[in-house]
Structure 1
Amino acid sequence: MALMAACHDVGLDSRDAVPLRVGENILFRLASAPVVVRIARSVDLLSDVRKEVAIARWLEAVDFPGVKLLSDHPQALIEEGRVVTFWQHVDSDGPSPGFRDLAVMLKELHALPKPVDLVLPLFDPLGRVEDRLDCAQSISEGDIEFLRRRVKELYAEYNALEFALPAGHIHGDAHKGNLLRRTDGNVILLDFERFAFGPREWDLSTAIGVPFQGFRWLDDEEYAQAVDAYGFGIAEWPGLHTLRRIREITMTTWLMQNVEHGQDVRAEFDRRIASLRHEVLPRAWRPF
């Protein structure tokens, strides 16, 4: 098992490790030390993981409030066909971070000067979707074909967008689930795997625009507070319609990878596919 092998290689004890999350990555909290072990699905993601390690080191060097790597340990180890990294566990407490917290975090992140020696890939909003479709199991051919057509349409729409903000480094997967409130009350940012060079509107759409316009997960007052915190009204920008539809595809195909994990996941995937065929808002999707 990748967890046991990686921990053995770096001198950590993996016994009684507790799974924290199964998604794009599998996360374990070690019982023997305040360490989180993050295991990527495939060795094909090695370049993304190495980029994430570089991002984490940059953000720690400039004292940005982000999750930190476990110091003095090797990173991006390849074990059992997977890529493993080690992170400092963060104790959390208090109210969950809100949409305004996320807007504040993104404003600070986007304002950072990027090191000249840190090379980021160009942002591809649907980069992993086609790979997910190629590897899909237990999904009907009709659903796969529908998603492939939608991906093609959305690439064309995205390439025709006129962005209002200057491009730069972006988080790439900015949502409230990637924030954590520490026991001292401060909020930190997690998950740097999707970092890229691209439109800042993408981060704002996933953080605020899509939750507001597509799902109504925040009300008008919360949206206004988030806009005031960042300084840009993403819901008033015409391109949000396209970015919302792209985000819906990425959310749906991410969930598609886990349909064998339970009937509740399968039911939610089926709900999302059905709603994607109809432009009825807000979407009645269950967060995962």
Structure 2
Amino acid sequence: MSTATYDAVRAACEQVGLDTTGLELIREGENTVWAVNAETIAKVGRPGSVEHSSRQVRVAQWLRTAAVPSVSLAEVNPQPVVVGDIPVVFWRRLPPHQPGHVVDVARLLRQLHDLDPPTDLGLPELDPFVRLPERVSGSNVIDLARRDWILRRIDDLRVEWELLPDGLPQSVIHGDAWVGNVAVDVNGTAVLLDLERFSIGPPEWDLVSTAIKLGSFFWIRREEYKRFIDVYGSDVTYWPGYTLMRDTRELRMATFLVQRAGQDPRLTREALYRIDCLRGLHGVRPWRWTPSL
């Protein structure tokens, strides 16, 4: 945990009148999540990401008006709270819950993708390669050969992306839609979490995350994937752009673990294994990636 992150969340709490004696670190990653009290959590963004956090606030407000179930903002104003150049967004803490099922993901995505894209949220166009070079360029986890391969692979995929075939109509997309970003409470109500990657783009980008859980890793059963496509109404694996999106999503998953391994060395072995799978050193899919890392 960085001192700057703790200082930022403490100062933000003080600005809005929240007690800081119970602050507890929940998760540390690209953003840092803190429990403030029984009703509130705080998400601390990276330095210089104020606009990014402001957009999350606008998205949460829009989803509420559009009646799409999602994580709710805490009753704190203004949002985000900015400490120096570090944004802090306060959210309502979820009631007891568990991760969603692929059917919950499909149902929420269908509802989201059917909405007319808003013109006043300032949503960017999807960038599937955002922060990928930064995840590996300064990493002390991977060797030079792996790093250079990843950077070349990013460049190759960027070129291919320019020729992405047409598919479903562009819409608002979640950007990181998987069961870990859906929570289901004791009443069976499912809500979307993590609004950081919302953008305008091809809906297939949201669908591919579930498709590769079957095709790339066997993390779900065929019956589960069939229910997913039945609920959503489309099977992305039949789309000509699927392979490109699959490869890009897999690269994002591998490089994210490289980034996390820089903070938690226990993840290094899995991070290197994932990269080597992409390099073709462990045979063809499905690979034995460890889920939920």
| TM-score, normalised with respect to structure 2 | 0.91
Residue 13 (structure 2) pairs with residue 10 (structure 1):
no
Residue in 1 that maps onto 2:4: none
Aligned residues between the structures:
284
Equivalent pair of 2:99/2:180 in contact (CA under 8 Å):
no
How far 1:81 sits from its partner (Å)?
Answer: 4.6
Letter in 2 for 1:283: W
- Select 2:113's aligned residue among 101, 106, 110: 110
Distance 1:183 1:23 in 2: 28
The aligned runs of 1:246-257 (5 Å cut-off) are 246-257=248-259
How far 1:102 sits from its partner (Å)?
Answer: 0.3
Residue in 2 that maps onto 1:52: 56
Residue 234 (structure 2) pairs with residue 228 (structure 1):
no
The aligned runs of 1:66-77 (5 Å cut-off) are 66-77=70-81
Letter in 1 for 2:251: I
1:107 is paired with a residue whose SS is: helix
1:151 is paired with a residue whose SS is: helix
Letter in 2 for 1:196: S
Residue 170 (structure 2) pairs with residue 164 (structure 1):
no
Distance 2:141 2:218 in 1: 31
Change (3 A) 1:143 1:44: farther
How far 1:185 sits from its partner (Å)?
Answer: 1.8
Equivalent pair of 1:65/1:189 in contact (CA under 8 Å):
yes
Residue 201 (structure 2) pairs with residue 198 (structure 1):
yes
Residue in 2 that maps onto 1:35: 40
2:82 is paired with a residue whose SS is: strand
* Percent of residue pairs bearing the same amino acid type: 33
Equivalent pair of 2:116/2:171 in contact (CA under 8 Å):
no
Distance 2:123 2:220 in 1: 32
The aligned runs of 1:14-25 (5 Å cut-off) are 14-25=20-31
Distance 1:43 1:200 in 2: 30
Distance 1:255 1:45 in 2: 22
The aligned runs of 1:263-274 (5 Å cut-off) are 263-274=265-276
Q: What residue ranges of structure 2 are gaps of 5+ in the alignment?
A: 1-6
Residue in 2 that maps onto 1:100: 103
Change (3 A) 1:247 1:131: same
Q: What residue ranges of structure 1 are gaps of 5+ in the alignment?
A: none
1:258 is paired with a residue whose SS is: helix
- Select 2:88's aligned residue among 71, 84, 87: 84
Deviation by residue 1:229-278 (Cα, 9 ceiling, x = unmatched): 00101122232111111011111221222223333211111111111111
Deviation by residue 1:17-69 (Cα, 9 ceiling, x = unmatched): 222222221111123x40010011x2232222111111001111222200011
- How large is the RMSD of aligned CA atoms in angstroms? 1.7
Distance 1:135 1:224 in 2: 41
The aligned runs of 1:177-196 (5 Å cut-off) are 177-196=180-199
